Amino acid sequence: MADRAEDRDGLRLDRLHVPLGPALLDWPAGLVLRLSLQGDVVQQADVEATAPTSPYPPFWNEPWLQARVGERVSRGDAARRLCAAHLDSLGRFFAVTGWADLAARARHVRDRALAGASTAELSGLVRPLARRAARSRTLRRLTAGLGSLPAGHAHHLGVTGPALAADGDAHSRMLVWLDAVGRSAAACDDSDVLDGAEAVGPRGRLDGPVPPSQAMLNALPGLLEGTEFACARIIVASLDPDLDELARLPVPGVAHG
């Protein structure tokens, strides 16, 4: 569907309305973006998210949610899940930037992490992957400057976790994932008990007023508006919201509105 509206320079140009999702490859399941485009520039972005119905907690957050209700969870188990979660996100990120081989490597290591591979094996698989991605000038050129989210603004929006720590653009968020993958791969054999107060999952704090992925969805329109259409998928992949979190399972000690 198209209509006409003034662009940023005051010219009246055709405006095209384009939906993205929910069934795109390497796209967060259940997410729909309704974009208004003038030329190839996003003028407006509206987010629609369909929360799944499931009696189970979000898979990637399980260790921290179990620890919060008093179940015994080792720090190694939490590190393993964190490592796999970030590799899963990196797989989508590499795929939408056109790096199919690196995406396949990330997903292979993710599967090895979930299958219980040792710390030595995981670290040996992660190091070359992280080194190649971090040093790639092509990947930096494709992703630097996209979806810039300064830490102050992220904090204002309630964003926590890697997107807050990155304090920057899509490339910065990828580097934070790579660093976390390396550290968590090295901690997978830690048998100490996870403290239930450490309610920080792969996408951020689990004891806040909204799920961490909801805060990222709230940030998306501002990150997308003014960017080129071709960059929208990279920006979404660099946040990788997990809509399983929107089921809002009750967490003890947390008041939901």
Cα separation, 148 vs 172, whole angstroms: 9
What does the pLDDT read at residue 10? 57
**Cβ distance 44 to 16 under 8 Å?**
no
- Which amino acid, residue 19? P
Cα separation, 146 vs 193, whole angstroms: 39
What DSSP string runs through 21-53?
Answer: -SS-TTS-TTEEEEEEEETTEEEEEEEEE-PPP
Asked whether the whole model's pTM tops 0.85, one would answer yes
- pLDDT by residue (tens digit) across 4-57? 555 555 556 678 999 998 889 999 988 999 999 998 899 999 999 887 677 788
Cα separation, 76 vs 252, whole angstroms: 23
User: Mapped to the 3 state alphabet, what secondary structure does 101-122 carry?
Assistant: HHHHHHHHHHHHHHCCCCHHHH
Cα separation, 158 vs 155, whole angstroms: 5
What does the pLDDT read at residue 173? 98
What does the pLDDT read at residue 8? 55
In the 8-state DSSP scheme, what is residue 61?
G
Give the burial class of 62: count Cβ atoms within 10 A of its Cβ; 0-12 exposed, 13-18 middle, 19 or more buried: middle
What does the pLDDT read at residue 254? 44
Only one residue has tokens 């209509």, namely 3
pLDDT tens, N- to C-terminus, the chain (257 residues): 555 555 555 556 678 999 998 889 999 988 999 999 998 899 999 999 887 677 788 999 999 999 999 999 999 999 999 999 999 999 999 999 999 999 999 999 999 999 999 999 999 999 999 999 999 999 999 999 999 999 999 999 999 999 999 999 999 999 999 999 999 999 999 999 999 888 899 999 999 899 999 999 999 999 999 999 989 999 999 999 999 998 755 444 444 33
What does the pLDDT read at residue 2? 52
What does the pLDDT read at residue 21? 85
